Amino acid sequence: MLNRIILSLITFTALAQASVFSIDVVNADSSQSYKQGFSSVEDTFNALDTDAIKSQINYNETDAINAVVDFRGLPLTLDYISNSTTLSLNIPSIGVTETFSGVTRDDSVNILTDWLKKNGGAVVEKMMKKLAEVSPVDPIAGNPNSLMGLSVSNDFTTGFMNVATQQTGNEASSSVVNKNAIIIAPTYSSFDADGIKSKSYILPLAYSFSFDRDSREKLSFSIPVTYTEVEGAKSASLSLGLAYSKPIADSWVLTPSISYGASGSVDLGALAQVVSTSLTSSYSWKLPDDYVLSMGNMIGYYTTVKLYDGDYAYNPGIQNVVYRNALMLNIPTDFLMKKTSLETFIIDTRYTGTALYMNQYQEYGVSYGYDAVNINILSDKEEYRVRKSLKVGVSYLDSNKGNGFKVNFGFIF
């Protein structure tokens, strides 16, 4: 029987790649078995109810039952020995073994789920940290569509992509100023890892206030809202960011930033907060034929923080220093339409610190759109310049663990 369980642990992921959660149940007394996939953690544990098992195989409530659960990529086992109502939980990768005894086996399952929600805080923390390492679709960290991944992307967009676009756009100048600029960039992101696909719908809302002395010097506020679907499981996140862009030279802008984000999913059984601080550099070179090459470099510190839930404070202790570097080439396309340009870019992202499922990935992209400045004459000595931009972009994300793509539309007004 031990060999059967070990074999199931090794091969189970390959047998059930299409589901976020899966369970492989074996009646040890009759050797009957079945496999099921689920999109929520609640449905997964409910699969051990007496009626649920009886709907799949012949089952007497005194039979020995061995169940191997794929909990978003984290293997765990749940067992009943013959003639016992005690349910044993074993999570080998984090060294957790617990038992739950009820009057009936269904009572034992209920005790387990209540324990995970209310009293198993230390185990839940270990599970959340391990899931960031082994799960391809963890909503907290370890993939581009996670809360941490989206925070990294948003910080870099604020400190480089938006800054470099202003430096390289048509009629770009330190005198060009949107005193109060609004940026809306709806994005669709799809990522496929280990046969499981996640789809994110992102609405990054941003507002910037430029200083009179140089429009590149500005305060930026961002509020990215994200909704994610993973094989039927749903999650959502909300972030708040504050950044200050400071011109160091004509072609160089530094942007320190801080951000906070929260993500939750009843289906995936996850709830967490992430805070960060980062510093981004944007440097541009003017090339012949009005081409402009921009280089972006970011270093950031991202960490989960305590989340208070009733009497317990959860913190999985995920801490990472992130390096994100990019090159972007702006190519004027006035021959197609006046005041338009094509931008091509490559971005490399690397994580150090807490072990993650994906610690590096690359993004290759292109965007095209209209970028112009309207001049409003207020008096003989005063004029007000307003930049307006409309762009569409697509990019391909690649890593040794999976790949995907993003499509986005950007508006600045």
Residues 71 and 176 placed together within one structural domain of the fold: no
**127 belongs to a structural domain:** no
Distance of CA 356 to the CA centre of its chain: 12
Q: Which helix (H) or strand (E) holds 131?
A: helix 121-134
Do residue 67 and residue 178 come from a single domain? no
Residue 82 exposed, middle or buried by CB count within 10 Å (0-12, 13-18, 19+) = exposed
Q: Kindly report, residue by residue over 196-253, the tens digit of the pLDDT.
A: 999 999 999 999 888 877 778 999 999 999 999 999 999 999 999 999 999 999 899 9
Q: Which residue matches tokens 């338009």?
A: 340
CA–CA distances in Å: residue 322 to residues 151, 157, 359: 11, 14, 9
| Whether residues 290 and 406 fall in one domain | yes
Residue 293's CATH number: 2.40.128.130
The DSSP H or E segment spanning 273 is strand 270-286
Tell me the C-alpha distance between 154 and 148, whole Å: 10
Least confident range from 1-15, 61-75, 247-261, 283-297: namely: 1-15
- Domain assignment present for residue 238? The answer is yes
- Stretch among 58-62, 191-195, 288-292, 304-308 having the lowest mean pLDDT: 304-308
- Domain end call among 101, 119, 137: 119
Pick the closest to residue 354 from 81, 187, 126, 103 (CA basis): 126
The DSSP letter of residue 11 is H
Question: Three-class SS of residue 64?
Answer: coil
Distance CA 384, CA 185 (A): 25
φ, ψ dihedrals at 67, nearest 5°: -125, 130
Domain count, the chain: 2
- Full domain range(s) for residue 44: 2-119
Q: Among 119, 137, 166, where does a domain finish?
A: 119
> What is d(CA 153, CA 187) in angstroms, rounded to the nearest whole number?
12
Residue 337 lies in a domain: yes
Q: Within a domain: residue 265?
A: yes
- Are 273 and 377 within one domain? yes
Q: How would residue 155 be classed by pLDDT, with cut points 50, 70 and 90?
A: very high
* 307 and 386 fall within a common domain: yes
Span 312-334, mean pLDDT? Answer: 92
* Burial group, residue 87, by CB count within 10 angstroms (0-12, 13-18, 19+): buried
Nearest residue to 220 (alpha-carbon basis) of 233, 210, 232 = 210
- The verdict on 173 and 106 lying in the same domain is no
Q: What local confidence, expressed as pLDDT, does residue 66 receive?
A: 96
pLDDT, tens digit (0-9, with 9 covering 90-100), for 160-207:
998 886 655 444 444 444 567 888 999 999 999 988 999 999 999 999
User: Do 295 and 336 have their domain in common?
Assistant: yes
Are 38 and 165 found together in one domain?
no
Q: Residue 135 falls within a domain, yes or no?
A: no
Q: Answer yes or no: is 137 within a domain.
A: no
Considering the domain architecture, whether residues 101 and 175 belong to the same structural domain is answered as: no
Residue 362 near residue 397, CB atoms below 8 Å: yes
Q: Say if 187 falls within a structural domain.
A: yes
Distance, C-alpha 113 to centroid of its chain: 26
Query: What tokens appear for 319 in the block?
Result: 């801490």
Percent of the chain surpassing pLDDT 90: 73
Residue 139 maps to a domain:
no
Task: Say which residue, 259 or 412, is predicted with more confidence.
Answer: 259
Question: Are 179 and 244 in the same domain?
Answer: yes
Residues 213, 215, 220, 223, CA torsion sign: positive
The pLDDT of residue 4 is above 90: no
Residue in this structure with the two tokens 């992921």, named with its chain if needed = 13
> Is there a single domain that holds both residue 227 and residue 371?
yes
Helical H runs in 200-264? Answer: none
Is 270 found in the same domain as 402? Answer: yes
Report field, pTM of the whole predicted structure over 0.85: yes
Token duo for residue 143: 């993939």
**What pLDDT sits at residue 175?**
45
User: Does residue 287 sit in helix, strand or coil?
Assistant: coil
- Side by side, which strands form the sheet with 65-71? 33-38, 21-27, 65-71, 74-80, 86-91, 96-101
